[in-house]
A and B are shown apart, each in its own frame.
Chain A
Amino acid sequence: MANDFARKAASVDGTANQAPPATLVRQRGDEALDAPLLSLADALVSNAPLLAVQLEPADDARKLAPIVARLGLVAIHFPLFKDGRGYSSARILRDELGYTGELRATGDVLIDQLVFLKRSGFDAFALRKAEDAALVEKTLARFADVYQPASDARTPVWRRR
């Protein structure tokens, strides 16, 4: 892929969300890895046995392939919710790299993206706004039926017909 192109794809208008998340929704039984979030570049040269990485929109998730066994937490950053590159990164991590650790959406994450995020393989969501737990649960349960397979365990309706 032309480097020039990746640069253009990378430059996005808008400010990255710097404030800490108001609500962390975690759908895992284990404890979150307590380790500093490394950039992709730093993670690739780290010798630590267990790593936490944060991917930015322009990062190629496939670059994590050599170290996927040492990943304990991957945070995918959404500087602006409308930049949907993180969804592809998540799916590549789950489907192709076989990553089973915590996959956390951070940044401009709103309750209205939860279903798309979950279906793309995320199991932790650092919501920007404080949200009522009941509303979160209602939102995640709303779409009982899905048309297409994704990176969650759900069966598309055509297989159930």
Chain B
Amino acid sequence: MYQYDRFDQAIVDARVDEFRDQVARRLSGALTEEQFRPLRLLNGLYLQLHAYMLRIAIPYGTLSSRQVRMLAHIARRYDRGYGHFTTRQNIQYNWIKLEEAPDLLADLASVEMHAIQTSGNVIRNITTDQYAGAVAGEVEDPRIWSEILRQWSTFHPEFSFLPRKFKIAVNASAQDRAAIRLHDIGVEIERNDAGEVGFRVYVGGGMGRTPMIAPLIRPWLPKADFLSYMEAILRVYNRYGRRDNMYKARIKILVHELGAQAFTDEVEAEWAKVKTRGIDIDEAEAARIAAYFAPPPFDAAAPVATPTHADPAFGHWFRQNVTAHKAPGYAIATISLKATGEIPGDASADQMDLIADLADRYSFRDVRVTHAQNLVLPHVKLADLPTLWEALREAGLASANLDLIGDIIACPGLDYCTLANARSIPIAQTIAERFADMDRQRDLGELKVKISGCINGCGHHHAGHIGILGVDRKGVENYQLLLGGSGAEDTSLAQILGPGFDADGIVNAVETVVETYKAKRHDGERFLDTYRRLGAAPFKEAVYGQ
């Protein structure tokens, strides 16, 4: 994975120094809260219901075991012993004290981590496929171009005061685990007919208030033009994005209101002017960065036999949470942070330390964060899986529910977040408990439930096979039920089924929907397939009786 050189380190250290200064000016009163707010947001420090929340960047969801240990240390030293992994592959801590934040950032800088641009109207964390560099069939490791984007976008002087936040996702596989078409810019790495590797660029996707699937803006972009083209897109957005209404300020609104063709024309015209300005890196630099993502030294003699264990629970976990690896004898193991009754995406400091140890022992010190709030050990020998599983099970990290109904994405919601209208965590916990029977979960198969506690949609409810949106209706929490969304390569937006429910009602409604699917499914159909085949009508009838 990428290693900082002295330049990368100097840049992060300078930011820590700057922030220490800004906090001191805030605490002394030289800066008002209003003046300080955008500065602390540039460092991912939010003022929430109970305390400051700090969002730490995990670039393209990749961590070393050393970094995971630091995250555990931060949980213990500065927080209440746990952290929350987010739908953008970052981590959040909910109980931070302002005066300790500079020391926290200094600790992070010592392991090549930071909280730069994790909030504010800037280019945010670049996200990608959690199986990058491990899964078979990948065109090229998307983390290479994610790192190139990270550097280009960090402290970009022209794009630090955009109309609104800006999110870029990169994918390089036939399967899209990064939901690229639901991002402001979605980049698909692919090969053309001549065998060259380049990019397909989508612009204007997003969820939240106005969900949209990004249209294709550039069917083919060569590597040599990548950054200058990105610069052109951002400049068009910076100049013409709406600034009159923060709910209409994302680039998706600009693309939608201009139309994809007119927007493309603007970008192409701008690009013609910027492409000669030396923005693009050369092949040598691209190769230098690519070298950091070279595969680890796989053991060519690693046994390829399917691992077994006396306990049948291992078999369930192996079949559900383990994905095929490109190297023979290896596998990709997903660590579920969705144990029944626990908060989705949370990990304790002890669990983090264990995962760091397991990464050292079994995964070349490599850990990934998924946008579904789980963790991954990407390079595990098949032969090591049984012992790995035993260690995970002891720590409550062996839930065999990857992509099943128990693997729920939930935002922090009203329990933690000032923007929320409703609690999302208790709904997730109740649904998980209702479906705690693993035989039942396995029988239902792939079923992605996503819960947001407000219209901002950080729980990605628009991309849920079953999406739940919490709203405030006359002071009472109310939950809307949406069906048929997908953040994968078959991108679709979930549609609302009918009137909302209270907290008990929504869980019952989900169960009714699920049972309806079971009753009507054809062989091999996932819930999403049955819904797409039958439409909303049978589900609506079952839930609302009409």
User: Does B bind A?
Assistant: yes
Residues of A within 8 A of B (CB): 1-2, 5-6, 8-9, 11-13, 57, 81-85, 87-88, 91, 95-96, 110, 112, 115-120, 139, 142-150, 157-158, 160-161
The contact of B158 among A2, A12, A120, A160, by CB within 8 Å, is A120
| 0/1 string, B252-264, CB within 8 A of A gives 1 | 0010011000100
Tell me the nearest residue of chain A to B161, going by C-beta. A84
A12 CA / B10 CA spacing, docked (Å): 37
Contact B288 A85 (CB under 8 A): no
State the Cβ distance, B483 to closest chain A Cβ, in Å.
34
Please name 29 pairs of A and B residues whose Cβ atoms are closer than 8 Å in the assembled complex, sorted by A. Answer: A6-B240, A12-B244, A57-B243, A81-B161, A82-B121, A84-B159, A84-B160, A85-B239, A87-B159, A88-B238, A88-B239, A96-B273, A116-B157, A116-B158, A120-B158, A142-B18, A143-B155, A144-B14, A145-B7, A146-B155, A147-B156, A148-B151, A148-B153, A148-B227, A149-B277, A157-B7, A157-B151, A158-B281, A158-B285
Q: Knowing that A2-B257, A81-B38, A84-B121 touch, tell me 9 more A-B residue pairs with CB under 8 angstroms.
A: A5-B257, A9-B242, A12-B244, A82-B161, A83-B161, A87-B157, A112-B22, A158-B281, A161-B288
| Cα distance A12–B39 in the bound complex, in angstroms | 21
Q: Interface SS of chain B: helix, strand, loop or mixed?
A: helix
Complex: A139 Cα to B18 Cα, angstroms: 8
B132 adjacent to chain A (CB < 8 Å): no
> Which of B38, B242, B278 is within 8 Å of A149, CB to CB?
B278
- The answer on a CB contact under 8 Å between A150 and B14 is no
Residue numbers in A under 8 Å from B155 (CB-CB): 115-116, 143, 146-147
CB–CB A119/B235 < 8 A:
no
Which residues 252-306 of B sit at the A interface, judged by CB distance below 8 A?
Answer: 254, 257-258, 262, 266, 273-274, 277-279, 281, 285, 288
B35 at interface by CB-CB < 8 Å: yes
B541 at the interface (CB under 8 A from A): no
Query: In the complex, A143→B121 CA distance in Å?
Result: 21
Chain B 493-510, CB within 8 Å of chain A: the 1/0 string?
000000000000000000
With both chains docked as a complex, state the minimum distance between the C-beta of A63 and any C-beta of chain B, in angstroms. Answer: 13
Contacts of A148 in B (CB 8 A): 151-154, 156, 227, 279
* Interfacial chain A residues near B288, Cβ < 8 Å: 158, 161
Residues of B within 8 A of A142 (CB): 14, 17-18
**A6 to chain B: which residues have CB within 8 Å?**
240
Looking at the assembled complex, report how far the CB atom of B252 sits from the nearest CB atom of chain A, in whole angstroms.
14
B241 at the interface (CB under 8 A from A): yes
Closest beta carbon of chain B to A135's beta carbon, Å: 9
Kindly list chain B residues whose C-beta atoms are within 8 Å of the C-beta of A139: 18
CB-defined contacts of B152 to chain A, threshold 8 Å: 147-148
Q: Quote the shortest CB–CB distance from A76 to chain B (angstroms).
A: 13
Q: Which of A9, A116, A157, A160 contacts B241 (CB 8 A)?
A: A9
Which residues of the other chain, A, contact B156 by a CB distance below 8 angstroms?
A: 147-148, 150
**Which chain B positions have C-beta within 8 A of A87?**
157-161, 238
In the bound complex, residues from chain A placing their C-beta under 8 Å from that of B162 are 84
CB distance from A141 to the nearest CB of B (A): 10
With a cutoff of 8 Å between Cβ atoms, the chain A residues found around residue B8 in the complex are 157
- Name B39's closest neighbour in chain A (CB-CB): A112
Q: A147: which B residues are within 8 A, CB to CB?
A: 11, 151-152, 154-156
Q: In the complex, which residues of chain B have a beta carbon less than 8 angstroms from the beta carbon of A110?
A: 35
CB nearest neighbor in B for A128: B35
Q: How far is the CA of A118 from the CA of B273 in the complex (A)?
A: 21
Complex interface: chain A residues within 8 A of B35 (CB): 110
* Chain B: CB-nearest residue to A11: B244
Interface pair A88/B158, CB less than 8 Å apart: yes
A161 touches B121 (CB 8 A): no
Q: How far is the CA of A115 from the CA of B14 in the complex (A)?
A: 12
Whether A5 pairs with B151 at a CB distance below 8 angstroms is no
Interface core residue of B157, B159, B244 (most chain A CB under 10 Å)? B157
Given A13, A95, A112, which contacts B244 in the complex, CB threshold below 8 Å?
A: A13
B136-169: CB near A (< 8 Å → 1, else 0) gives 0000000000000001111111111110000000
Assess whether B5 is interfacial by the CB under 8 Å rule.
yes
